[in-house]
A and B are shown apart, each in its own frame.
Chain A
């Protein structure tokens, strides 16, 4: 299925090599770095889901935090309050954000440009206020803790209380999501998204129902952001109302811009670089966001296509990797 094009071979090779390296990694690094990498994978998923809506479809949504937070709370509340099993809770952390993304997107895609940005911020703020206020359900700013039960998936017995088990579980889901998104952006549907980004008017004149395709992109991105939130909570065994704050979406914006928007691999790379940078800086600088903010501004000014753009302009012959 992924081998449709000739250039895919190189991608498959690199993808498998990276995956093998990541599978081997937990045997060489300690538990602290295993947790760090697990969180990194979660943020990669969040960043690539944002890349679908921003990088490919051209819609700057600051509302992704809403879906991230919803996914996170879906898992937490279902497991903690209803004793639901882990795998079903995680599945619902895609379904429920999709329903909300449908609702939010239905209104948002009617607007364009700056108005779209603002309406997505507003929806996220409403979510954040509700999360902050409805403390009996969400735990407010203190948040909620829980412990997911072990479960069987095919041949695998998965225990998320075990850090290594958690690592492999998150790695597998993020890798599958990455392949799913890569397949999607190469499909005819993905081409429509790109055409909307490049020239919305022309896409409409060709005969595409632009609003409908925007809504589809918004819903898919929302569902995957929800999955990222669900995995994040499963990793930390915790959820808090601050996950719903619109500025959480800023993480995805930073990772995507630094790595290179509309490339999928770029946001993944950007996540790795920025999170490692923050991890390194925290040792002697309390305010890591200072450096992140400056990096963001410099990248926007100097290399708007991000690191991937920089690399591609070095190897002029290289094709756009998706």
Chain B
């Protein structure tokens, strides 16, 4: 029992860190552009699919981990310049537009990649013992990579010029324009960064789950839950909420069926939406 619990907690933290990455991307895009990107789950899926092809090509998970987010970031650039820019300031229309994009991307992958799930073998196969069970070292590495990426993001937002601009636009867009900050460019880079984060999340999840064209659909909802519980526009809140929700789901699944655990998470989210729309950790 104790070993099951330890594994559930570890899994919860690892998965929470992966989900934190995708939720951070979604939340950054929301915080700056004030839009909900329904295609965000599809970008996560694209990250995993591109990684699968890259691994077939080069044989290295680590190369895929770097190249796939770059590719998806480029796709993000095209989406932002081609679509989002033209419907600026129309949040509801953007939801519909990105929903259409999600459909198109999913089906494009279905046509090229196929409908059957495929596996990416973890590049590190070593397992270490926890009490009487074995735990894959790869998952710990995935967690560490996630933490590394988030630390990088934190430093980027706090210490660089672009990071400062981004925070300024979040606080007061009019004032930022007045001070000569290239808001348009900041939007572009935010969307690229958000897309790349979704792709990172997808590549890191790939050795744990199987890669298939619908893998982003449920994850998108998970990311929504995290962003809302953590507070829209509150990045630290997203990370906390991701780990918290994932832990509750993982540990809860030891005692109740997973579907019941998910329903509780969703009901909890409705309560948060109604009574604390600024999120659990907001002011």
Interface set of A (CB-CB < 8 Å, partner B): 60, 107, 110-111, 113-115, 117-119, 121-123, 125-126, 129-130, 132-133, 247, 250, 253-254, 257, 285-290, 292-297, 300-301, 304
Contact = CB atoms under 8 A, between A and B. Distances in A.
Contacts of B221: 121-122, 125
A286 B110 CA distance: 9
A293 B102 contact: yes
Interface in B80-100: 83, 86-87, 91-93, 95-97, 99-100
B104 A300 contact: no
Contacts, number: 106
* Interface SS of chain A: helix
Given A290-B103, A293-B104, 18 more contacts: A60-B96, A110-B274, A115-B273, A121-B224, A123-B270, A126-B267, A129-B259, A250-B99, A253-B96, A290-B108, A293-B105, A295-B100, A296-B96, A296-B99, A297-B104, A300-B96, A300-B100, A301-B87
Nearest to A304: B93
Interface residues on B, range: 35 or more
B97 A111 contact: no
Contacts of A117: 36, 92, 95
A300 B87 contact: yes
Nearest to A287: B107
Contacts of A129: 259, 262-263, 266
A113 B92 contact: yes
B266 A126 contact: yes
Given A60-B95, A253-B96, A287 B108 contact: yes
B125 interface: no
Contacts of A130: 259, 263
B8 interface: no
Nearest to A247: B217
Contacts of A126: 263, 266-267
A294 B95 contact: no
